[in-house]
Amino acid sequence: MRLSREQETEIEAAVFRRLRDHLLARGDVQNIDLMNLAGFCRNCLANWYRDAAEAGGTAMTKEGAREIVYGMPYEEWRALHQKDATGDQLAAFETNRPKDEGQHG
């Protein structure tokens, strides 16, 4: 099946929204866990969102992109959901840290 560019864009947007909504519902999943398991986190998604917006000519702040991904201001999300990383989580992050620091949040 060959999709039109418009169909592809609509499907990709729906997939992004589903991923975002899934992460919104899973505030118990910490960003460091996402980084350790998948090499990206909510901050990465926000950075990629901002990059795409700016590539398309739409100015966007880091905070604005994070609010879209987190569903609320970032500091509010942190206060509600973020826990201090454990020693094991930090050690795993150091082991798994992406080589290109610009690729993650």
For the stretch 34-55, pLDDT in tens is: 999 999 999 999 999 999 999 9
| Tokens 């999300």 belong to residue | 77
**3-class DSSP state of 32:** helix
Q: What is the mean pLDDT of residues 55-63?
A: 97
User: Distance between CA 85 and CA 104 in Å, rounded?
Assistant: 17
Which two tokens mark 86? 């454990």
Q: What is the pTM of this model?
A: 0.85
